[in-house]
Amino acid sequence: MKYRLPIFFGMFCITANPVFADRGAFDIERWDNVIEGIRIKANEQKIKQSVIDDTLKSASVIPRIIKSDKNQSEFTLTLDEYLDRTVSAERVKIGRQKAREYPTLLSRVENKYGIPRNVILAFWGMESNYGAIKSRYQLTNAFLTLIYDGRREEFFTKQLIALMKIADKNKLPVNSIHGSWAGAMGHFQFIPTTLTQYGTDGNNDGRIDIINSVGDAMMSAGNYLNKLGWNKNEPIIKPVILPADFDRTVLNGDVKKSFTEWANMGVTNIDGTPLKNSEFVVGLIADTKEIAKRDLYQPQRDDESQLLDTDVAPAPVIKAYLTYPNFYRIKRWNNSSWYAIAIGELSRKLK
């Protein structure tokens, strides 16, 4: 017999049809179908009945999560502003402290998976500020909310089923697992399907808990980067400068050339010296929006194309980064070029 579960809207039980976020009236029939669908799928996957019951017995919708999903703000920081925030002196300082706190664990990750300690520390700092950022949402309800909303129903259904399997296998209370509104959890912000594939028991206690165990979290991150093909013998990025009239269409990292080819186009080291030859084929990235903004505010010229007395001379060069194969492996972790540049800069400072 099908029965209706209690539904909580924020902190209040839903007994009628209140307005729900941007969907209009709350659709109780759809909610019942979501709950029943998860129950069926979980039983098909042979998840323990107690885990299924715990997941669904106090199922709640969280309007704030739907608002977050629908209103993800457009990125407005310049690359320099982003790096100022993510590769701050304080984050570097704490990273060095963590290196002294976990020397044995970091060595284990490097020896087993070939991921240098400064790289692991950089990911840890970027993802959770070395564990200081605590996740706020109960993930069972976060996923149920997003499944109900329907925009990415299949994806979030997979995440919830994976989360239930993780709780079942590792004897974790499923409703105690917290994460971001989109489902990332732990020190390195894995989503459940990633954890299922790459999670590692780093402290040998017979279970994988990337939220409460730094050992499990670090070893899982090392395993993931190893499977992505990380090469400890190659860099991530190299800062360079370009002439002001450089072809802006190749500055997105997609066009890859040899060092010689880039040098022939005018790319130089940050101090203006010529690039040394290298066997790597690399991409090139710069903040093209910031360049365009700078171009927009170039001073007006007089009839003789001379700068007026009140004009400021334009910057003679463009700051950019050569991007090595490891850079593109980072983008398989997080598909953001600026994130990958930040990992490169932070890992360099933590070396």
Please check whether residue 56 lies inside any domain of the structure: yes
User: Can you name the residues that pair with 285 across neighbouring β-strands?
Assistant: 252, 321
* Same domain (yes/no): 23, 121: no
Structural domain including 48 reads 1-72+136-183
* Same domain (yes/no): 178, 197: no
pLDDT for res 18: 34
* Same domain (yes/no): 66, 164: yes
* Same domain (yes/no): 47, 8: yes
User: Can you name the residues that pair with 250 across neighbouring β-strands?
Assistant: none
* Same domain (yes/no): 127, 140: no
* Same domain (yes/no): 200, 123: yes
Please check whether residue 257 lies inside any domain of the structure: yes
Euclidean distance between CA atoms 188 and 140, whole angstroms: 19
- CB 59, CB 5: distance < 8 Å: yes
* Same domain (yes/no): 247, 217: no
Please check whether residue 317 lies inside any domain of the structure: yes
**Which tens digits make up the pLDDT trace of 78-107?**
999 999 999 999 999 999 999 999 999 999
Domain count, the chain: 3
Quote the pTM value: 0.85
Q: Tokens representing 252?
A: 């997105």
Please check whether residue 341 lies inside any domain of the structure: no
Please check whether residue 34 lies inside any domain of the structure: yes
**Which tens digits make up the pLDDT trace of 171-208?**
999 999 999 999 999 999 999 999 999 999 999 999 99
Burial class (CB in 10 A: 0-12, 13-18, 19+), 5: middle
Please check whether residue 7 lies inside any domain of the structure: yes
Please check whether residue 23 lies inside any domain of the structure: yes
**Among 24-33, 38-47, 269-278, 305-314, which stretch is predicted with the lowest mean pLDDT?**
305-314
* Same domain (yes/no): 90, 212: yes
